[in-house]
Structures are given as C-alpha cells and as structure tokens.
Amino acid sequence: MGSTPIAQYVYATGTAAGKRVQALGGAKNHAVILPDADLDLAADAMVNAGFGSAGERCMAISACVAVGPIADDLVAKISDRARAIKTGDGTKNADMGPLVTQAHRDKVASYIDAGEADGAKVVVDGRTVMSQTGPERDSAGFWLGPTLLDNVTPQMSVYTDEIFGPVLSVLRVDTYDQALELINTNPYGNGTALFTNDGGAARRFQNEVEVGMVGINVPIPVPMAYYSFGGWKASLFGDSHAHGLDGVHFFTRQKAITTRWLDPSHGGINLGFPENT
C-alpha cells in the first residue's frame, strides 16, 4: 500500500517475475452531498472523514461535492466544526495531532498555497495553527490545522493530487449527474460516499459510481474484514482485493483432488466408453 507510482512499479516488477501481486495505490475520495441530505449529519461526517488522523489515511475524504443550493449552508456548518478542533500532541485536550514530518507538513501547506493562488477560497486556514496543548509543544510538532477550501475546481492541484493531510476541498455542482461524472472521470477509484435520504438516488449511485468501496451516509466506507478492501482504477493493481475471500485466495494455492475407493468384489475399472450395439 502506497502511492500509485510505487504500486505500479511493484505490480510490474512482481508480475514480470511471475508472481501474484496485490498493490494498493493512491486515492482521491469524494463525498457527494445531495440537497435532501441531513446537512448536520453530513457536516459531522466531513469533519470526521476529512480531518480525522490529520487526513493521513488512504480512506480520508478530501473532496466534498455539494450538489445544488446547499453549498453555502454546508460550508458554514463544516467551517464551524473545523474551527472547534483542537490541535495537539495527544496527551490531553487535543482532537488532532501533528503531521508525520516537517517536510510533509510543508508539502501539504504548499498545496493550500497553490489552491489559494488558483482561486479557491480558504475558509478555514490551518497553516498558522500551533499546538493548543501549550506553547512548550509548539516547536516539538509539525503542526497544520484543519483546512477548508471552497470553490475548488477539477483543474486545481489541490483537487487532482492526493495531499494526505487535513485539507478538505469543496467542489460545487448543479446536479447529481455532474457529481457522478466528476468521480467517474477521476483516475482514482478507492472510496466514495453519498449523503441523501433518497433511496432511489442511493441505489443509482451505488450501481453507477466507478469506485471500489461505496458508502451511503457512511463517510469512510471500509467494510468489515470478511469483505474485501480495495479500490478500482489507479487505486489498485492486481486482480484481487485485500481481506475477505479475495484475501484468502491471494494467500493460498488451491488444489483439486479426485479420489475413488474400489470394492474388491467388483471387477475392473469402467473406462466410461459407450458400448457399440
């Protein structure tokens, strides 16, 4: 499990040597919020999925697709929740920790810089956030707080690239079909979610979306271990997913055994040829 270029390399190298390979690559996970959705539930979910683990997980939601007239209300609700998140080292009174290295922290911040330069609105800016567990911790962590960008477009690097940090981009579309097209034309296909109270829309989404793991009103659709885990397109290389039956088949080699026990009182073996009459 790693970036898509590494997954491609591992897959190509392993299969060239005749090995069975299961290589999980990058992701750009979308959550689509339909106009009929419970916006408080959706906002809670976006904060959880976008900023949990400081966004450093392959199933993080990094693209929130607001459909129709709900975008302003949704952004306001996410913004209020994001500003309440406390950043710290995890010893006390902290909701979110630092990023893994200074280099990665600076890389994530550079994407925010680029998004702002490209015209995205920085609604919540995590670039200047320091530890809220005490000034003595400020120099001991690679701090970057929750960041919310609005009016992001598909051409911006903050959308096209997997950032792997606490950066949530809001893209605005007019219709469900536009939201679906946005996801299906993305090169990644790891996880996605739809927030709605419309069962018909949910059924259509789960059938039409080209993504390996789908959640309906579930922001991080990681199935239980007895189901398979893994994406489509540039998010997975190989013919089987992790966990579940796919995982069992990947790590085992099947054998077929045919046996017969003869009764000594019976004669020779029937060869099964038809008799000529």
DSSP annotation string for 206-233? HHH---SEEEES-SS----TTS-B--EE
Range of the domain at 156: 25-221+228-237
pTM of the predicted model as reported, rounded to 2 decimal places: 0.87
Q: In this predicted model, what pLDDT tens digit does every residue of 106-136 receive, in sequence order?
A: 999 999 999 999 999 999 999 988 766 566 5
Q: Which pLDDT value is given to residue 8?
A: 92
Residue 159 lies in a domain: yes
User: Sign (positive/negative) of CA torsion 153, 157, 158, 162?
Assistant: positive
142-167 burial, b if ≥16 CB within 10 A, otherwise e? bbbbbbbbbbbeeebebbeebbbbbb
Residue 181 lies in a domain: yes
Residue 277 lies in a domain: no
Tell me the CATH number at 188.
3.40.309.10
Residue 261 lies in a domain: no
Q: In this predicted model, what pLDDT tens digit does every residue of 60-106 receive, in sequence order?
A: 999 999 999 999 999 999 999 999 999 988 777 889 999 999 999 99
Residue tagged active-site, from 45, 54, 58, 109? 58
Is the distance from CB of 172 to CB of 71 less than 8 angstroms? yes
Residue 251 lies in a domain: no
Q: Which pLDDT value is given to residue 229?
A: 82
- Annotated active-site residue 58? The verdict is yes
Q: Which pLDDT value is given to residue 139?
A: 65
Which residues in the chain land under pLDDT 70?
A: 131-139, 266-271, 277
Q: Which pLDDT value is given to residue 29?
A: 96
Q: Which pLDDT value is given to residue 85?
A: 95
The domain total for the chain is 1
Residue 242 lies in a domain: no
Residue 156 lies in a domain: yes
Residue 269 lies in a domain: no
- Other CB atoms within a 10 A radius of the CB of residue 35 amount to 15
Q: Which pLDDT value is given to residue 228?
A: 83
Q: Which pLDDT value is given to residue 94?
A: 87
- CA dist., res. 159 & res. 175, Å (int): 19
